[in-house]
Chain A
């Protein structure tokens, strides 16, 4: 059964479109919501937590509308992006207050707050005012308030932003543990590898439209037929360029800098293999071989161009 259903969902802010006629189902477990800045990720999360209302269509969470629906919202834990805090509170006061507002009483609220703070590794800093927290600590205390009432669905907007690699690793571990215990998680990011470390299920959006959905491997496979650009930094770029121009699998070659060759191919794996042989045969001194466009933006560029066609 789908945890979140988007039914011909559109959301616009004046003339700006946040989401454009999106229909999708987000299933149980962890789902990664991927997209560049301004793609519509936060809009989708705002709609799923009942902070925003659809301009058109509908959104269902656990089968109901989240708008002003406390019974349903108490099953959701929401971690917003940015720094929305009552910064004069200490971390403990912040989590405890939100535990109480979530319906927990006295001792139960205190226990839940302490537990949530412990789980996010914030116990040593819980007595300090939030205004003195680092970016990473702020992220973790926000996640603690998300967990405090043991929700069935976590909606996490860019939870890894500003965290150091150790904190990222710990949070990834925590989210996996929660998912193993049956908690559903929708996590947004614009960094592919952060999401890949958490889940295989992804939903990619761009300009308010879904450009890819499903298993991350399937999405990667979809991308295989796009031309890959490979950059080689070498001592004899012209010699290498002339050799590459003769290969059938290469669709374009250029020498943008005196020591750099860029070439485009639809068969990157074969190209890497043959390039190694060529380097050895011709005795070239190579300083770098790298894919020039493996960033998420490049993937999006490809996917969005393709969806536009």
Chain B
């Protein structure tokens, strides 16, 4: 006679295979996050439209290459005006335009980066604001932490989801514009002149991905209400930019060169990108007169201060979101 026992004990199955390493659970979070975001048609449309700055850049490259062949003629006047309006670089009267190719390309990518910040703002608001907030709302964290997911892998997975989408609107269009530009404007000769730009573009795109994804993770871990995260994100992007504009209007140029010139997240990113693209060094190496040089780029702002602000903000955001997630994981363990 067997002893009384329940069916459940008999039928309980244990996993017999080998379990994967704990720290490799984050790609699953990334894939799931990306798939979830891509299900929304608005996100897909947003990603498609992010190619617009890149198309503008390709147009500029094409016009520059045309300009090299018609320089000094009547036809060139309209092209000069167009470039001046777009890049704020007055290259009229300069006969050796090939010398400017590298710096024109770099200025074009700076203009493109400025435009891309609009897409970064929107895409992060769309896919980033809910990354942790929605999990908090759906009380999904106990489910995550009941699996072999640690706070670090969770955070890394969530960060990578946002970084992926930011890369889709910054890195990918930039490199696509770079490749298209080379293909349209002469091939190997141009490549030889501007190839280092590819590395600078990667660094610039990575900067935007790292900073924006870290900041939104911190904001998203504050509340379970995605709406407020969106409002906070938009406020963080726009209010300091307004403040920066008011400061620029109210104060003389030299007094805003220091820390006062670094209060806007968006402006700080652009300042560091300008440094990474090495436009000032590029222009200094050309024969452009100093006054036009200043007109093209404005007064120099110390990039080390902007970089320090961005670095401090990123570290603070990571530490903050880390502490929040660790707290959630402990709460989950006691539920």
Residues of A near any B CB (own CB < 8 A): 285, 287
Count residues of B near A (Cβ-Cβ below 8 Å): 3
A200→B2 CA distance, assembly (Å): 41
Indicate if B36 sits at the interface (CB-CB under 8 A).
Answer: no
Task: State the 3 A-B residue pairs at the shortest beta-carbon distance, nearest first.
Answer: A285-B1, A287-B2, A287-B4
B1-47 residues with Cβ-Cβ distance < 8 A to A are 1-2, 4
A105→B241 CA distance, assembly (Å): 51
Chain A to chain B contacts (Cβ below 8 Å), 3 pairs? A285-B1, A287-B2, A287-B4
Give the residues in chain B near A285, CB-CB below 8 Å.
1
Give the residues in chain A near B2, CB-CB below 8 Å.
287
Q: How many whole Å from A221's CB to the nearest CB in chain B? A: 31
A285→B1 CA distance, assembly (Å): 8
Residue ID in chain A nearest B2 by CB atoms: A287
A287→B1 CA distance, assembly (Å): 9
Give the residues in chain A near B1, CB-CB below 8 Å.
285
A92→B286 CA distance, assembly (Å): 77
Q: How many whole Å from A84's CB to the nearest CB in chain B? A: 15
A287→B2 CA distance, assembly (Å): 9
Q: How many whole Å from B224's CB to the nearest CB in chain A? A: 12
Give the residues in chain A near B4, CB-CB below 8 Å.
287
Q: How many whole Å from A147's CB to the nearest CB in chain B? A: 29
A285→B2 CA distance, assembly (Å): 10
Q: How many whole Å from B75's CB to the nearest CB in chain A? A: 61
Residue ID in chain A nearest B5 by CB atoms: A287
Residue ID in chain A nearest B4 by CB atoms: A287
B163-206 CB mask vs A (1 if < 8 Å, else 0) is: 00000000000000000000000000000000000000000000
A285→B4 CA distance, assembly (Å): 13
Q: How many whole Å from A260's CB to the nearest CB in chain B? A: 10
Q: How many whole Å from B121's CB to the nearest CB in chain A? A: 33
Residue ID in chain A nearest B1 by CB atoms: A285
A287→B4 CA distance, assembly (Å): 8
Q: How many whole Å from B253's CB to the nearest CB in chain A? A: 50
A296→B161 CA distance, assembly (Å): 44
B224-246 CB mask vs A (1 if < 8 Å, else 0) is: 00000000000000000000000
Residue ID in chain B nearest A285 by CB atoms: B1
Q: How many whole Å from B203's CB to the nearest CB in chain A? A: 46
Q: How many whole Å from A214's CB to the nearest CB in chain B? A: 36
A198→B1 CA distance, assembly (Å): 41
Residue ID in chain B nearest A233 by CB atoms: B7
Q: How many whole Å from B6's CB to the nearest CB in chain A? A: 10
Residue ID in chain A nearest B3 by CB atoms: A287
Q: How many whole Å from A202's CB to the nearest CB in chain B? A: 30
Q: How many whole Å from A133's CB to the nearest CB in chain B? A: 14
Residue ID in chain B nearest A260 by CB atoms: B7
Q: How many whole Å from B142's CB to the nearest CB in chain A? A: 14
Q: How many whole Å from B62's CB to the nearest CB in chain A? A: 50
A287→B3 CA distance, assembly (Å): 9
B227-284 residues with Cβ-Cβ distance < 8 A to A are none
Q: How many whole Å from A289's CB to the nearest CB in chain B? A: 14
Give the residues in chain B near A287, CB-CB below 8 Å.
2, 4
Q: How many whole Å from B258's CB to the nearest CB in chain A? A: 43
A9→B2 CA distance, assembly (Å): 56
Q: How many whole Å from B132's CB to the nearest CB in chain A? A: 20
Q: How many whole Å from A161's CB to the nearest CB in chain B? A: 16
Q: How many whole Å from B205's CB to the nearest CB in chain A? A: 43
Q: How many whole Å from A279's CB to the nearest CB in chain B? A: 14
A287→B10 CA distance, assembly (Å): 15
Q: How many whole Å from B92's CB to the nearest CB in chain A? A: 63
A3→B146 CA distance, assembly (Å): 48
